[in-house]
Structure 1
Amino acid sequence: MSMRPRNAKEVSISQERIYDLIRSPLVTEKTTLLGEYGKVAFQVPLDATKPEIKVAIEKLFDVKVTAVNTLVQKGKLKRFRGKLGKRSDMKKAIVTLAEGHNIDIATGV
């Protein structure tokens, strides 16, 4: 009987899906401050799941991920030339890395 966490899931995703999951790193004042705590933020597709994001980050950057937190930022209503429009919704993933691991988002993948 192996002891693994209750919510641990075996996820196998293709190499193509790995590159689709991580759209871009989020570089803001807030996410830069999170870097001091071993956290990195990425923009991900709306259909991405936490286990998929974890596997993708671990394979792409060769690091150990301890936690993934996600949130969906709803698109704002904007006016353009008098017409009402809506920006797209965006999903963010805040990834906590294991002690001693880090990701330098300034260099490319």
Structure 2
Amino acid sequence: MALFDRFKKPKAATKSIQKAAVQGAPLSRKEQKPKTEAAPAKLAAERSEETKAADIVSARYAGILLKPHVSEKAAMLADQGVYVFDVPVSANKVEIRKAVESVYRVDVSIVRTQRGAGKRVARGRIAGQRNAWKKALVKLKKGHTINLVEGV
């Protein structure tokens, strides 16, 4: 078909590559093949099966925890072992528990959620509505902590 002819390499170009390879001449940038590194493949092979499985689980729940909720009240609760996260409105307690356990590698004892409806706002004649939100208060078992403000 004529549509796919433009994607084919011209025969003259392939012959010049073969001649250059035979004569030992260096290839141009377009003619060179991209270099592939074997280092990532080695690292992936060396990782244990348990680590791979944990990464798969944490990737599954990566979208559940949007961000840590930063406020004075959240900081005071963190001293008591309760951590606050902003989560999607569609998230449920079971998903939140699994997400925190897989991402932070801790044991969760209680998950409480709080929903906020988006308030109607008016700016002059233009009426709108703020987004609805949901936050999760996650209490960890004794001995477990999460360092949310690492490097701040």
Q: Is the 8 A contact 2:57 2:102 kept in 1?
A: no
Q: 2:78 aligns with which of 35, 52, 55?
A: 35
Identity of aligned residues (%): 35
Query: Shift of the alpha carbon at 1:80?
Result: 3.0
* Aligned-pair CA distance for 1:67: 0.5
Partner of 2:128: 85
Counterpart pick for 1:75 among 110, 118, 140 = 118
Aligned equivalents of 1:68 and 1:51: distance in 2?
8
Q: Does 1 or 2 have the higher relative contact order (CA < 8 Å, sep 6+)?
A: 1
C-alpha displacement at 1:84, in angstroms?
1.3
Larger C-alpha radius of gyration, 1 or 2? 2
Q: How well do the aligned residues superpose, as a CA RMSD in angstroms?
A: 1.8
Q: TM-score, normalised by structure 2?
A: 0.58
The amino acid of 1:47's aligned partner reads S
SS at match of 2:113: strand
1-structure distance, mates of 2:60, 2:122: 35
Question: Where does residue 88 of structure 2 map in the other structure?
Answer: 45
Unaligned runs of 5+ in 2: 1-55
SS in 2 for 1:105: coil
- Please give the residue correspondences for 1:97-108 in structure 2 after superposition, counting only pairs within 5 Å: 97-107=140-150
* One-letter amino acid of the structure 2 residue matched with residue 55 of structure 1: K
Q: CA deviation at 1:82?
A: 3.3
Report the AA paired with residue 45 of structure 1.
P
Task: State the distance in 1 between where 2:142 and 2:88 align.
Answer: 27
Q: SS of the counterpart of 1:93?
A: strand
- After superposition, give the CA deviation of every residue in 1:80-104 in whole Å (9 maximum; x if it has no partner): 3531111110011000011111111
Partner in structure 2 of residue 9 of structure 1? none
Q: Report how far residue 44 of structure 1 moved.
A: 0.7
Structure 1 segments (4+ residues) deviating >3 Å: 13-17
Richer in helix (by share): 2
CA–CA separation in structure 2 for the residues paired with 1:45 and 1:30: 20
Query: Residue 95 in 1 paired to residue 143 in 2?
Result: no
Equivalences, count: 96
Q: Which one has the bigger strand percentage?
A: 1
